[in-house]
Copies of this chain bind each other. A is one copy, B any other.
């Protein structure tokens, strides 16, 4: 059942994509399925358990395809996302976030009771103590130690600290040590491997078994085998791909499953086209680019400015085939995951014909 808002106008299977009102993000079914197959094959080839991050699609039906292809579980970033996927029947969920606060701990415990295997991460004794207290006299919670192997976000800074936290987890009757986890700096396989190997050696010396070493990130996914310490790989973006993944060498334009259909609403001056996709569609994620997306078929077009519902495109370097007012274009976004987050529904198509429309079930949840 679709939970569209009262004024949501939904396409239907069989509709021609070209006739849809815009702006509208679209997913090419075949490209998406090929991405799922290709990445799973890579993980299988290298003996890596694969755990897709659902942040990119927020759709149980897509996660189901990922699991059918061989994924061993899923990765969520928020408790509320995990609850949606638990409702849909997923039984192995890793939440890669420090969980703090009474309300979140209560929801986490309820979730732990109703699925087979819930795991979270922690990178401090403060977080661990909160978990240990809340989960005492409950089904134990699996906790992985998050390691900052160079990305500069969360994570313990040294293998020695990882050991300290692993010891705490191992010593708590409320918690089960789930292993080590990192969200690495892309392209730094050697450093990541060195860090993790050192931590594994410390754990081994301390007699602590490490069941999982979880490595991640779509950009350097196909270099994942260069971190042999890892037993598991997490990735989200690969399922749809985007302009940043083309630049990273992870995929080609033909692997980008998400495009945003937009209409040219104005051609006010020579060299300028304005589309009906702005920040509230494409988002302002630049990811190192200097413009806001790539117009399919018009590589010289520069989406140079966005306001909330308008995108201004410099078409002065294009030939004169750029669509006129009322014409439509497809944009490959810089970052697909954040576009998913803007819309309540997602339209899937095959060869330009709508195959299905899905609620973005885990979108818009607070935490």
Does A115 sit at the interface, judged by CB under 8 A? no
Q: Is the interface of A mostly helix, strand, loop or mixed?
A: loop
Does A124 sit at the interface, judged by CB under 8 A? yes
The answer to whether A124 and B266 have CB atoms under 8 Å apart is yes
Residues of chain B within 8 A of A286, CB atoms compared: 284
Contact with B along A301-344 (1 / 0, CB 8 A): 00001011110100000000000111000000000011001111
The minimal Cβ–Cβ distance linking A363 to chain B, given in whole angstroms, is: 8
The answer to whether A101 and B21 have CB atoms under 8 Å apart is yes
Does A197 sit at the interface, judged by CB under 8 A? no
Does A157 sit at the interface, judged by CB under 8 A? yes
Task: Return the contact of A365 from the options B8, B55, B338 (Cβ within 8 A).
Answer: B8
The answer to whether A325 and B279 have CB atoms under 8 Å apart is no
Tell me the complex Cα distance, A101–B21, Å: 7
How many subunits of this chain does the assembly comprise?
Answer: 2
Does A67 sit at the interface, judged by CB under 8 A? no
Does A104 sit at the interface, judged by CB under 8 A? yes
Residues of chain B within 8 A of A367, CB atoms compared: 9, 21-24, 276
Does A187 sit at the interface, judged by CB under 8 A? no
Residues of chain B within 8 A of A55, CB atoms compared: 308-309
The minimal Cβ–Cβ distance linking A90 to chain B, given in whole angstroms, is: 14
The answer to whether A24 and B283 have CB atoms under 8 Å apart is no
Task: Return the contact of A5 from the options B268, B325, B364 (Cβ within 8 A).
Answer: B364
The answer to whether B268 and A156 have CB atoms under 8 Å apart is yes
Q: A22-B101, A97-B309, A148-B268 given; name 10 further pairs at CB < 8 Å.
A: A7-B83, A9-B366, A21-B366, A24-B367, A78-B309, A123-B268, A127-B266, A127-B325, A284-B286, A342-B364
